[in-house]
Amino acid sequence: MTTAELAAPPAEERAQAEYLLEARKIEVTYDRVAIAIQGVSLGVPAGGRVALLGTNGAGKSTTLRALTGFLPSEEIEVTDGEVIYEGESLVGLRPHEIARRGIALVPEREKVFMTLKVMENLLSTPVGSNRASRAEGLERVFHFFPQLERKTGLIAGLLSGGERQMLALGMALMTNPRLLLIDEMSLGLAPVIVEELVGVLSAINRELGVGLLVVEQNAEVALGLADHAYIIESGRIVLEGTPQRLREHEDVQEFYLGRRASRDGEAASYQDVKQYRRKRRWYG
């Protein structure tokens, strides 16, 4: 199967239900000159599980920030394309305006308020002005993360890395979102913790019907969680498809799963892959 064949999904995949969130050929430009991402198109169906996979610097986080309005300064902006959520454009809206529509972002860094207690972090999110909505939010969080209920009085900075990730996800759940956007969940965490978090996200998706868009460098995590995945390289989507189809693709096996075979038939390490060969393969 060639890259071109994989980049064009079968008719049955293209004819899927309307997206809850859709990026249509968006472009993000730095200082009105440097293009960070170009022509990025992707979609998340209602209740769907989608992954955006790419290496460091490929444009994953910039894409998430474009979708949620968290572009860090006026010098970085969406200069082309559309971001559509429930049939309405999000381009130009501020992050809090997008969050109110049911989209919650769990960022890669600065996930929680380190000097506040766990309960204070949870109650810092906009969950409504009445006690009932706050109580419902806490019940939802503690159902999926019972560990947090036992540590509500602890300062967040004293939590482990995995517990801080749970708290960040819990803060997002407090807003009762329809869509969770999660940036590099597995980064710096032990495999056993990542496996637990993947299980919890699957349960959240299954029990609450919350859609997931997960950005990852870890291909095993991304492809293990998603129903559909996109691969981004140098600011452009180069491949998309079901996890099964992506796992079978030679380039994905070599560049992301570390399964390239050498000339003598032995498996070669990921570190042996040269960047110029990646670009030649994707764009050649």
- pTM of the entire structure? 0.84
Q: For the sheet containing 76-85, what is the strand order?
A: 34-45, 19-30, 76-85, 88-89
pLDDT at 85: 97
Q: If you average pLDDT over residues 178-202, what whole number do you get?
A: 95
In this predicted structure, the answer to whether residue 30 has a pLDDT above a threshold of 60 is yes
**Mean pLDDT across the stretch 80-98?**
93
pLDDT higher than threshold 60 for residue 245: yes
Q: Which of 249, 193, 199, 192 is nearest to 219 (CA)?
A: 249
CA 235 – CA 164 distance, rounded (Å): 29
The pLDDT tens digits of the residues spanning 5-15 come to 444 444 444 43
List, by residue range, all CATH 3.40.50.300 domains of the chain.
Answer: 3-102+178-283
pLDDT average, residue stretch 125-149: 88
One-letter amino acid at 148 equals L
User: Is the predicted pLDDT of residue 22 greater than 80, yes or no?
Assistant: yes
Q: What is the mean pLDDT of residues 18-31?
A: 92
pLDDT greater than 50 at residue 69: yes
Lowest mean pLDDT, pick from 37-41, 102-106, 183-187, 260-264: 260-264
Residue whose C-alpha is closest to residue 182's, from 207, 239, 194, 89: 194
Cα gap 99→277, rounded to integer Å: 40
Kindly give, in sequence order, each residue whose CB lies less than 8 Å from that of residue 167, ignoring residues fewer than 6 positions away: 111, 112, 118, 121, 122, 145, 148, 156, 159
45 strand-pairing partners: 19
What CATH number is given for 3-102+178-283 in this structure? 3.40.50.300
Strand order in the sheet with 179-183: 103-106, 179-183, 211-216, 49-53, 228-233, 236-241
Task: Report the sign of the C-alpha dihedral through residues 98, 169, 255, 228, in that order.
Answer: negative
SS3 content of the chain, % helix, strand, coil (to 5): 40, 25, 35
The answer, yes or no, to whether residue 200 has pLDDT greater than 50, is yes
**244: helix, strand or coil:** helix
pLDDT category of residue 80 using cuts at 50, 70 and 90? very high
pLDDT reading at 128 higher than 90: no
With tokens 């969080």, the residue in question is 141
Residue 276 in this model has a pLDDT that exceeds 60: no
